[in-house]
Structure 1
Amino acid sequence: METRRDDLDQDTTQWGDHFLSVPINDSDFDVLAREIEVLKPIVRDDIFTLSSYAIKKKILSIHLLISLGLSYHFQNEIEETLKHAFERIDELVTDETDLYTISIMFRVLRTYGHNMLSDVFSRFKENNGKFKECLIKDVKGMLSFYEAVHFGTTNDHILDEASSFTLEHLEPLAMCQRAIPPNMLKLIQKALHIPQHRNSQALVAREYISFYENEEDRDETLLKLAKLNFKFFQLHYFQELKLITMWWRELSITLNLPRNIKERTVESWFAALVINFEPQFSLGRIMSAKLYLLITFLDDACDIHGSIPEVASLVNCIERWEPDYMENLQGHMKSSFQFVMYVFKEYEEILRSQERSFMLDKMIEEVVIYTNPNDS
């Protein structure tokens, strides 16, 4: 499995060898890590040593940490703060009439599993049951209200109404470039395209850093930490993409398949990034990306180059999980099963080195689902 694929077409991916040429040194990681560790205590003290009477301010700051991609550094402090906040939720929201504050509290608490009731938004309605027209002027509040809608459940009927209300007034703003500051306009456009809650947290952090940098009330220490932290992300991401690209290019198994098999290394890695973006999950992203690459490989091999009987034989072989049964396979189906075996053997070795169990049955089931010719 060590033959290089230099003789294959390089246009199978628009990225080519880009990530192979990115220089990455361990010293770069060390320098950034030390700078981050210097700033973390300062930010922690600024946010979490506030008195218990400033709990709303703490929640607004937690929202900033989430949006800037920093929350994983302060998980214990965040969970403890929100636990106490939820215990006092009725007291906290009783006299609160600011749409932005209520929306942020709702989003943050639900993000961490605390079921703040959506009825809290009823206070923003007129006696006729419609949302107050004066809210339209509060652009920041309306945007946060729109983001809060995406934390709703099937029982949060008021959020269905809020979705229509906020969209009705935010969409025209997104088209009118002179109505609001460019910084806020861009944030609205991003949210209408993909709300933060449904977007990759790495992309949210990148976008929100640019937004926060232009805010007049920004905290310079927090902004500096966010920028350093994102550079730390980038180093990990480049390293992962470099490793995955090298791994794919050095697989001899793909040499036995036609040239039009898709190379989707970056796309597969990005799918893994959506699940977990933090640096400590680097190994998990690499392993997930390889699994997605395997599934894409099988999808091409089966859809383009395999007849229904050949694909059925491959599925049967995977379900049996018997290497000797591979002799019943022909051509590309045999190469496909060899690839499956290779990837799973690599997984076993990695997880064994991590002293973790290998959920083989579950992963085999996932691969079978993607190759079963009886599924529409």
Structure 2
Amino acid sequence: MSSPISTNLVPSQHGNTSKENRHLSNFKASFWGDVFLSSPSQMEMDAGTQHEYEELKQEVRRILVANMDKSSQKLHIIDAVQRLGVAYHFEKEIEEALQIIYHHHCNHIEIDGDDLYTTAVRFRLLREHGFDVHCATFNKFKDENGNFKESLIGDVKGMLELYEATDFQLHGENILEEVLSFTTFHLKLAETTVDYPLYTQIANALKRPLRKSLPRLIARSYISIYEGYGTQDENLMKFAKLDFKILQHLHKKEINKIIRWWKDLDVAINFPFIRDRFVECYFWKLGVYFESHYAIVRNFATKVICLISILDDIYDVYGPFEELKSLQKQFKGHIKHISTFTSNH
């Protein structure tokens, strides 16, 4: 049943305002149409798939907690787990592993990992997880003249990781500004000479570094990249693919329900002047909370943003000034009432 919503929200002091006095904007129709309205394909896990999923998860957990001869191996696994979008299953294990790596790093008992690639990955992961690591660790890659060594240019993977590390710089860390300039220049040159999947990884990083991208987009891209290198851990690869499909199905079901809620409001009829951007609103929250246990948050927050977008367009596009003043007055009255209610309860 459609909700009885009226577009004449607040009558003006002079009666109904003519359409000529309203500033209508010809927003484009939603790019998505009804593509998400059809029932999503069923992918409910049967007992066999559920068992495989849990087994693979435990295998990945065993890798993360296992003792390794080189801490660089553990760093590379953690990095892959994060890029593949499954780190939310292993937050405790990752934190404990990084605690050990940080302890070794601070006490200079690291027996490996002085190469460019590992140094950059370690710096990025530790900073990302809140550990206090100093950027002076990159001074060892400079020559006696204070310039970055020319020999670094041939280590394209290392240069790529060094570039990603610069997104975690703090104010006043000039060396990371130098790193950014140095790596950006040489990665743009290398992009035209390397093959897939390194080419794709460089192109993605130059367009949108890890810290400036969305976890789901990173995972979608990196699944193919990780597999393309041919050195992947098979259990991690299988788990990442299965987890991605399961989450993707969940997200499709959620957006399907939100679209039906949106259509039940008869927004297109009651508010023909607004932007129809419910899919974008959902994607916005998906960028913040993609994990399955945040389903309620995603659903609620998306609906709130959708309703706020209606108000935004009423203020920016449709409402005459006098009506908006009246609407604003009513809002303030409700806010005052809510404040009084909450203080008494």
TM-score (norm 1): 0.78
The 2-side partners of 1:148 and 1:92 are apart by 22
Cα deviation, 1:179-205, whole Å, max 9, x if unaligned, reads 111211111111111111111100000
Q: Distance in 2 between matches of 1:306 and 1:93?
A: 65
Match of 1:115 in 2: 132
Whether 1:165 and 2:179 are equivalent positions in the alignment is: no
Kindly indicate whether the alpha-carbon contact (under 8 Å) linking 1:68 and 1:206 is maintained by their aligned counterparts in 2.
yes
Matching residue of 2:306: 293
Could you tell me how far 1:322 is from its partner in structure 2? 6.4
Give the deviation of 1:323 after TM superposition: 11
The within-5 A match list for 1:1-376 is: 2-3=2-3, 12-25=29-42, 27-28=44-45, 32-51=49-68, 53-90=69-106, 91=108, 96-174=113-191, 176=192, 179-252=193-266, 255-257=269-271, 259-321=272-334
State the AA in 1 paired with 2:97.
T
Does the C-alpha gap of structure 1 residues 35 and 215 become closer, same or farther in structure 2, counting only changes over 3 Å? same
Identity of aligned residues (%): 35
How far 1:170 moved relative to its partner? 0.9
Cα deviations by residue, 1:329-356 (Å, 9 ceiling, x for unpaired): xxxxxxxxxxxx9xxxxxxxxxxxxxxx
Distance 1:215 1:315 in 2: 58
Q: Could you report, residue by residue, the CA deviation over 1:278-310 in whole angstroms, capped at 9, with x for unpaired residues?
A: 121122112221122122211111111112332
Task: Structure 2: state its 5+ residue gaps.
Answer: 6-27
Deviations 1:135-155 (A, max 9, x none): 111110011111110011113
CA gap of 1:315–1:130, structure 2 versus 1, over 3 A, is: farther
Distance in 2 between residues matched to 1:67 and 1:27, nearest whole Å: 25
- Residue 156 of structure 1 and its aligned partner are, at CA, apart by 2.0
Aligned position for 2:9: none
Confirm or deny: 8 A CA contact 2:196 2:228 kept in the other structure: no
Distance (Å, rounded) in 2 between the aligned partners of 1:15 and 1:253: 16
- Contact 2:40/2:249, CA 8 A, preserved across alignment: no
Amino acid aligned to 1:239: K
Contact 2:135/2:175, CA 8 A, preserved across alignment: yes
How many Å apart are 1:32 and its aligned residue? 5.0
2:168 aligned counterpart, secondary structure: coil
More helix by share: 1
The answer (yes or no) to whether the contact 1:146–1:163 under 8 Å persists in 2 is yes
Report if the CA contact (8 A) 1:4-1:249 is conserved. no
1:118, CA displacement in angstroms?
Answer: 1.0
Q: Is the 8 A contact 1:3 1:250 kept in 2?
A: yes
Letter in 1 for 2:80: L
Identify the residue that residue 25 of structure 2 maps to in structure 1: none
- Assess if the C-alpha contact under 8 Å between 1:12 and 1:260 holds in 2: no
Question: Quick one: distance in 2 between partners of 1:244 and 1:31?
Answer: 31
The farther-off stretch of 84-93 and 112-121 is: 84-93
- Structure 1 residues 31, 261: CA separation in 2 closer, same or farther (over 3 Å shift)? farther
* Contact persistence 1:12–1:261 (CA under 8 A): no
TM-superposed CA distance for 1:314, in Å, is 2.4
* Contact 2:75–2:122 under 8 Å retained in 1: yes
Question: C-alpha separation between the residues in 2 aligned to 1:320 and 1:153?
Answer: 44
Q: CA RMSD in A?
A: 2.7
CA distance in 1, matches of 2:297, 2:38: 23
The amino acid of 1:61's aligned partner reads I
Contact persistence 2:164–2:209 (CA under 8 A): yes
For residues 86 and 64 of structure 1, what CA distance do their matches in structure 2 show? 19
- The structure with higher relative contact order (CA 8 Å, sep 6+) is 2
Quote the Cα distance in structure 2 between the aligned partners of 1:32 and 1:316: 56
Residues of 1 paired with 2:37 and 2:47: CA distance?
Answer: 21
Q: 1:96 deviation in Å?
A: 3.9
Give the secondary structure class of the aligned counterpart of 1:321: helix
- Distance in 2 between residues matched to 1:285 and 1:114, nearest whole Å: 30
Secondary structure of 2:323 counterpart = helix
Distance 1:4-1:25 versus aligned 2 partners, 3 A rule: farther
* Equivalent-residue separation in structure 1 for 2:251 and 2:112 (angstroms): 45
- Give the TM-score normalised by the residue count of structure 2: 0.85
What is the aligned length?
Answer: 319
Contact 1:29 1:235 in 2 (8 A): no
Change (3 A) 1:206 1:13: same
Summarize deviations over 1:2-31 as a string: whole Å, max 9, x none: 3599xxxxx731211111213344734876
Q: Matched residues in 2 for 1:320 and 1:77: separation?
A: 50
